[in-house]
Amino acid sequence: MTRAAALPLPPAAGGLREGDPPGRRSWAVLDGPLGLESGVRLADVRLAYETWGRLAPDGSNAVLVLHALTGDSHAAGPAGPGHPSAGWWDAVIGPGRALDTDRWFVVAPNVLGGCQGSTGPSSRRPGGAVWGGAFPYLTVRDQVAAEVRLADVLGIGRWASVIGGSMGGMRALEWAVGHPGRTGSLLVLAAPAASSAEQIAWGSTQIAAIRGDPNWRGGCYHDAPPGSGPHQGLGLARRIAQVTYRSEAELGARFGRRAQPGELPSQGGRYEVESYLDHHAAKLVRRFDAGSYVVLTEAMNAHDVGRGRGGVARALRRADMPALIAGIDSDRLYPPAQQARTAALLPGADAPRLIESPYGHDGFLIETEQVGALLGELLPPARETP
């Protein structure tokens, strides 16, 4: 059997590295240290972000779009230098699209703790050394606190809407509960008000896969030679996650029990579904940092808008703004019953919506026509902007 030529070894840490093309990113450096819930004061914080459209003089047309776990600021636009893939919501954001950039000023930041330009484990700390395993523990509230400071830098006092799916939906809910005066409306897709025991279990299993890799080295591997990062652990984490992102029916219809062409599982070869998981694992280790994966997954596990606020129901009553909460009918990671409970507790929420999709959790990225229809319901009628 002839195999394709081997790719160059992946860097020890994926993601944006010093000297890489910036693409269309901009950076905001936060003024002063950022106080974290843990008590740590994180200095020299910067957030990478991208924008589309033009901010109105009164700032009234600003929309915040928040990405999922392995997403980044490149929500729209083509692939190119600095952006190995096209925007993850390219069909939603742009002139004449659901988030019409002739009307709205759209901002998409890379989350604090990420690896696509924002401060995270692969960043250099004050003094010049890479943070690595010394990077502090983060919560979703810490990440939103950084985004609040970004809004201040951009001169945006109140978002017309805050929008997010999956991990981005967690941050959107935290915006609405923690900063209701700065959140004009809310769209949450496939995300809970608090992570459940099962969701924590899935996340913890992925963290354990990474930390169990001999090349993890306590999170201090970023200056190691290519090929010597915790790629096996990160790849295994991605394989686990990918199964939760898709539905059983879709995997069955797409792959069944078919063997990979030219390979016999009875002789050590792979099934097609195994090849699919291998493909996603190999892609991720080249574009994402294992340390960021751990930090962000820990933050998702800790997500609970009711923590310290008298419980979820009481906390959600703070978020009194127009809201749409949508689940995906085939989502087994964040099942739609969670979104229904959230919608029932939000004062300004309409009835919970259901996105129909065979693709499972990933439906919020794939079913862009249905997402666009939800945006059309939520956002106010068009008006002229200068």
Catalytic residue list: 166, 331, 361
Residue 219 dihedral angles phi and psi, to the nearest 5°: 90, 5
Token pair, residue 354, equals: 């259901």
- From the number of C-beta atoms within 10 Å of its C-beta (0-12, 13-18, 19+), residue 309 rates as middle
List the end-to-end C-alpha distance of the chain, in Å, as a whole number.
62
How far apart CA 168 and CA 303 sit, in angstroms, is 11
Token pair, residue 160, equals: 């017309």
Sign of the Cα pseudo-torsion (318, 319, 325, 327, in order): negative
Q: Position of tokens 């401060």?
A: 119
Contact 28, 147 (CB under 8 A): no
Residue type at 154 in one-letter notation: L
From 357, 210, 338, select the one nearest 284 (Cα to Cα).
210
- From the number of C-beta atoms within 10 Å of its C-beta (0-12, 13-18, 19+), residue 246 rates as buried
Residues sharing a CB contact under 8 Å with residue 263, sequence separation 6 or more, in sequence order: 1, 269, 270
From 144, 203, 138, select the one nearest 175 (Cα to Cα).
144
Q: Position of tokens 């739609």?
A: 336
Angle CA 71–73–74, to nearest 5:
85
Token pair, residue 69, equals: 């776990």
How far apart CA 175 and CA 145 sit, in angstroms, is 9
Instruction: Characterize 101-134 residue by residue with b for buried, 16 or more Cβ atoms within 10 angstroms of its Cβ, and e for exposed.
Output: bebbbbbbbbbbbbbbbbbbbbbebeeeebbbbe
How far apart CA 42 and CA 32 sit, in angstroms, is 9
Token pair, residue 110, equals: 């890379």
According to DSSP, residue 290 is labeled H
